[in-house]
Structure 1
């Protein structure tokens, strides 16, 4: 399975320590955003994860944690836009972000650092000409460190529409979008960048551009082959995404209303007060990001790629008390030499039962 970390929040920038703990303990949990009382548990053992796709605007604090991913296939979707702190208030200066981009690329290779010039926002102040100028400036600095740039125009989701209206963002026509992507594509070609559009209905193939697959099954197979894996996994289109989205199926470990960047165009935050409330629940030791299990209300399921299995909480009674130490989680982490033989059909169920038992003991 493919892990997305994450479309819903910036895990590398904001919750890297939490994610490393999940890697160490071999599993994570996440809530169904459409049914929050339904909680899924998923294995993060290297043999169960086909790839990890990181989405970020600022992985500066995450770079020194990449040593934990030597057994994994992974790549980054790294957003670098021309906007200032009026639109991206908690993103560092562009010089700092670009330096981080360059450093990350030098560490893992430019093939695995995909630049996102996304979203494009056109206003009276930020015209087509503005974007052509700024895009070329960024191409000059980033093209030696990446092979691909994914672009898209801002979406006027109901959650973001009010903020976008405040800056007089323009909702472009199909013809205007076509002309915009033509200009961007022409500049990108000068710098030998593959320019791809994300979830756009515009016929960009006529411009020599491609439709993006941000979570890209073919690219993941290529990376797996590069790492020595001899498998032939077929990945299915993710029908939970927009019709124009080219992504394959993945499991997203993030949660909405937890991103502290507070970008004007954000669709993943509904309100600042919700973000503040959620981040108060952040615990690097919880399997859930910014959340805890409620044993009375939550339905817990173990997740496979195409199916899930409900975990009966009564199974906790079958766990021997000797398996637990008071006040400590009994997870077997990689640092403790967890046996790969434990990765059987019931491995993840045992992990979750242990966690439930610990909750009961603490109560």
Structure 2
């Protein structure tokens, strides 16, 4: 099993101590988003967990906890974008995030850390030329610390439409021209550019459209082979292997305008007031009328003889 932490919230930025508590206690409970009285319990130990996947805009608060998870394989997606507080109100300055990125890369390997430059928003404040310059600057700084960058344009989900009504994707010709230049810049600094949730739209201009969080990504980063159960893709245009996430919606306090996981700031503040680092759930506690189902997920690893990462 791959313990996924980042599809619904930013655990490294806001809930690091809670995650460490769950790892130390050996299990985590996740309330079903559509059936709130149904809880899935995932066991956390070396017999069931192949590795931990993170997705964050701010790894800095979690760096203090890295020694406590050093025995677990890790795979990090870190978003570094050039937006101001009009788009990302509470994300720290990119200079600090880049330093955190480098620190984690040095503790793992360049294949285990991925830079995300998404979503790409093109408007009056953030022009095409602005993105060229920003992407070049970031790629130059991260060269040697990763070999993969993920880029995509804004997806207009219902929550995005509600919280960011002026947000939109640029015209198709602009999308292609901009993405082609980003592919070229990425290649210049030793990186493969992957797209996220864009299907094969940008394959002809050199982007890797195979998926940004596939089993191949984990295998290459960790030097192992994984035999995983078949799962349906979350979306037809998405090839990623998305599995059970231990986070919860309406809990991320970055309050990015384009966020698909938050309904509104009020909902987030209510949930954060109900967060207890000692609870088995990210938000709230187990109730008497809850049903707990123990996940049957098990280890996917097929040992490779003499692999550095295998016990």
| TM-based fold match above 0.5 | yes
Q: Would you say the 8 A contact 2:200–2:209 is kept in 1?
A: no
Query: 1-side partners of 2:21 and 2:57: how far apart?
Result: 21
Q: Is the 8 A contact 2:156 2:168 kept in 1?
A: no
Change (3 A) 1:212 1:194: same
Residue matched to 1:286: 279
Alignment deviations for residues 25-59 of structure 1 (CA, whole Å, 9 cap, x no partner): 11000011122221000111122012211011111
Greater helix proportion: 1
Hey, what does 1:201 align to over in structure 2? Answer: 199
* Alpha-carbon distance in 1 for matches of 2:129, 2:231: 35
Where relative contact order (Cα < 8 A, 6+ residues apart) is larger, the structure is 2
Is the 2:252–2:268 Cα contact (8 Å) retained in structure 1?
yes
Any residues of structure 2 matched to 1:200-279 within 5 Å, and which? 200-225=198-223, 232-236=225-229, 238-239=231-232, 241-279=234-272
Q: Any stretches of 5+ residues in structure 2 without a counterpart? A: 299-311
Deviations 1:1-21 (A, max 9, x none): 111112111001100000000
Alignment of 1:295-334 (within 5 A): 295-296=288-289, 298-305=290-297
1:237 and 1:247 in contact (8 A); partners too: no
Q: What SS does structure 1 have at the residue aligned with 2:37?
A: strand
Q: CA deviation at 1:284?
A: 0.9
Cα distance in 2 for residues equivalent to 1:236 and 1:177: 35
Distance 1:51 1:214, change over 3 A: farther
Bigger-Rg structure (1/2): 1
In 2, Cα distance between the equivalents of 1:269 and 1:12? Answer: 17
Distance 1:51 1:84 in 2: 33
Partner-residue secondary structure (3-state), 2:115 = strand
Q: TM-score if structure 2 supplies the norm length? A: 0.90
Deviates more, 1:152-161 or 1:254-263: 152-161
> How well do the aligned residues superpose, as a CA RMSD in angstroms?
1.8
Using structure 1 for the length normalisation, give the TM-score: 0.78
Alpha-carbon distance, 1:196 to partner = 0.3
Q: For the residues of structure 1 that align with 2:69 and 2:271, how far apart are their CA atoms?
A: 28
Unaligned stretches of 5+ residues in structure 1 = 307-363
Q: 1:125 corresponds to which residue?
A: 125
- Counterpart CA distance in 1 for 2:276 and 2:169 is 40
